[in-house]
Amino acid sequence: MINASVRSNPSASTSQPKIRYAVVGLGWYAQAAALPAFEHAENSELVAIVSDDPTKRSEIAKKYGIEHTYSYDEYDRLLASGNIDAVYIALPNHLHCDYIVRAAQAGIHILCEKPMAVSVEECERAIAAAQDNNVKLMIAYRLHFEPANMHAIEVIRSGKIGEPRIFNSVFCQQTEGGNSRLSATLGGGTIEDIGIYCINASRYLFQSEPIEVFATSANNGEERFAEVPEMTSAIMRFPGDRLATFVCSFGAAKVSTYQVIGTIGDLYVKPAYASCGEIEHKITIEADTETHTFGSSDQVAAEFVYFSDCIIHDREPEPSGAEGLMDVRIIRALYDSIATGGFITLNLPQRDRRPSAAQIIERPPQQQKAELINAADPAGNN
């Protein structure tokens, strides 16, 4: 386990210690975003990959110069090898808890994609494993380091739009049949995979936790939506009688926006949850609108830089297991609402740490689109 006493600075020179990572799961997102991100994560090093696809292992190892490759059956051997300090878990949602716990028990730090797990009980088990074995557990909320979203928090805190009263968000995309996001068995679903962005954004923008939620789902009857709903709409009541609403869909055109409406103005962000490309703020006060554009950056590289810095300097990451658990509690309450047709009351603890502009880390955007090996974009884009 790395423990180094060097000055805390995510932008420090390459002479600082490097955290050695294994990427576990080589699906679309891992190949398109995570593997290329190590180029711009100066305190992080990609040294191992895990997949049951021998073609992926062979071709990706060759492309990135990776010496250590493992199948899923060999995961525990990897954890005990001494070759890695941390794992980045990019597996289907239903596998997250097991792979977190096994890594923690081996003394390996964990960066896991969201949602953290498929149930509250699994989240609690994963958190306990990390605490019992004194390892870092971070959930991959990349927007907690992204300039446009973190500056949105500061706009609201400043009082520029008055008292924030309403949050409204739409996050939609077309998802092709056969993708794991459309499999209930694998922990997929609209709320888990894209609605979680809306939930998390409402929480960091309102700087509090919902006290009551309601949700309903709809389905156009297409075969691809046999296991999970095509779309979900939710209402969340926050303290101070503030309301957050969102709609997320796997069967509609690509849209990613949110709007926070205050007592004297509003902030509109588009594309709010984009993983690359420019993001735009529009702030309107009465008839006057000002626009700010935030340039593209490598958001996953920023995650790796931040998490590695936490490991090196023995700091608890902000989007910790507790943050992941909070969203899963809300997700499960939304499903309870869908099942019962009524509002569900929540009694969630307040977070003592929340993301802010102080966490912004910018790294150059990836210049080339990664060539996928035996993987496909869930939206069917080439």
Q: Which residue has the tokens 């059956």?
A: 73
CA distance 299 to 366: 10
Half-sphere exposure of 19 (CA within 13 A, CB side): 33
Is residue 87 within 8 A of residue 21, CB to CB? The reply is yes
- Helix count (H) and strand count (E) of the chain? 11, 15
End-to-end CA distance of the chain: 40
Number of C-beta neighbours around residue 300 at 10 A = 28
Beta-strand relationship, 86-89 and 19-24: parallel
**Longest pairwise C-alpha distance within the chain:** 63
Residue 63 is a catalytic residue:
no
- 3-class SS of residue 278: coil
Out of 21, 141, 197, 258, which one is annotated catalytic? 197
Q: How far is CA 94 from each of CA 82, 119, 180, 185, 345, rounded to the nearest angstrom?
A: 27, 9, 10, 8, 26
Tokens encoding 371:
């060539």
Instruction: Tell me if residue 114 is catalytic.
Output: yes
CB atoms within 10 A of CB 295: 12
Eight-class DSSP state of 39: G
Q: Which of 18, 56, 114, 136 is catalytic?
A: 114
Omega cis (within 30) before 271? yes
Give catalytic residues, as residue numbers.
114, 197
